[in-house]
Amino acid sequence: MEHRDQEIYLLSRRLSKEAWIQYEAFREDVRRVIGNQWIRSIDSIGANFAEGSGRYGYPDRNRFNYIARGSLREAMHWTELLKERNILDSSVADNLLAVLENLAIKLNVQIKNTRAQISGS
């Protein structure tokens, strides 16, 4: 299946789009201190998933799934900080965190399924 058709990729792209709208509204100092790391971590989720899905071997695919999961957790961290510091509106942050949680579940299932393919199950 093409990565562009997979739900993980579609969710990560939707998340990137929503985050970018918020990022563009940040003051320059906020972008520099926290915003750049936040948007990079969010964009990295879909980028690593896409790269992994283009790899031939299952172990290599999962390596990129793990990197995507690490970026996802980093994005959660930054989103929570942005909320705590009242940079992101609470409802916006909660919506983004809900998408991240949903994405984490789906990515964990993907990792488990790919692991099963590695072991031949």
Predicted pLDDT of residue 35: 98
What is the amino acid identity at position 53?
S
Mean pLDDT score across all residues of the chain: 92
How many of the other CB atoms lie within 10 Å of CB of 28? 8
Q: Which residue has the tokens 């695919």?
A: 61
Task: Determine if the pTM surpasses 0.85.
Answer: yes
Spatial CB neighbours of 78, under 8 Å, sequence gap ≥ 6? 34, 37, 38, 41
Q: Tell me the pLDDT tens digit for each residue of 13-68.
A: 999 999 999 999 999 999 999 999 999 999 999 999 999 988 888 888 999 999 99
Phi, psi of 58 (to 5 degrees): -60, -40
Reading the block at residue 73, the tokens are 């957790």
Predicted pLDDT of residue 4: 54
Lowest mean pLDDT among 13-17, 18-22, 77-81, 113-117: 113-117
Predicted pLDDT of residue 56: 80
Domains in the chain (CATH in brackets) are 3-119 (1.20.1440.60)
Spatial CB neighbours of 82, under 8 Å, sequence gap ≥ 6? 34, 38, 88, 93
